[in-house]
């Protein structure tokens, strides 16, 4: 019996398939650099949530996070890595198997 009922959907990287992390990556992919406050405002997220999600992206090496100062104020700057860029592109490819 020919089995053509085969899964035709690609895995969606769970690290990217998350509203907030996807938004962050979406921003970083075109900006190449953005700080914590900017990301918080552009995504509309709470600081706590953003902090957690940045950690996850950072641990996966999808982004780099530099903690420094702007004058006397702490300033956390994020940028996407090559790994992150590649993962994002693969996510987009995978998405297409769902949304045509």
Contacting positions for DNA (CB under 7 A): 14, 17-21, 35-37, 45-54, 56, 67, 71-76
Q: 58 with 25: CB under 8 angstroms? A: no
72 binds its own copies (CB under 8 A): no
SS (H, E, C) 47-93: HHHHHHHHHHHHHCCCEEEEEEEECCEEEEEEEECHHHHHHHHHHHH
The partner in contact with residue 98, picked from DNA, its own copies, none with C-beta cut-offs of 5 to 8 angstroms by kind, is its own copies
Which of residues 60 and 94 has its CB atom nearest to its own copies in the complex? 94
6 binds its own copies (CB under 8 A): yes
Distance in angstroms (rounded) separating the CA atoms of residues 31 and 20: 16
> What is the binding site for its own copies (CB under 8 A)?
3, 5-9, 11-12, 17, 19, 22-23, 26, 38, 41-44, 92, 95, 98-100
């Amino acid at each position: 019996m020919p089995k053509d009922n085969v899964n035709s959907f690609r895995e969606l990287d769970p690290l990217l398939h998350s509203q907030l992390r996807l938004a962050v990556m979406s921003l970083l992919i075109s900006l190449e650099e953005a700080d914590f406050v900017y990301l918080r405002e552009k995504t509309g997220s709470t600081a706590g949530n953003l902090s957690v999600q940045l950690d996850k992206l950072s641990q996966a090496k999808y982004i780099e996070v530099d903690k420094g100062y702007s004058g006397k104020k702490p300033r956390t700057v994020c940028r996407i890595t090559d790994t992150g860029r590649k993962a994002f592109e693969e996510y987009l490819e995978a998405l297409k198997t769902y949304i045509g």
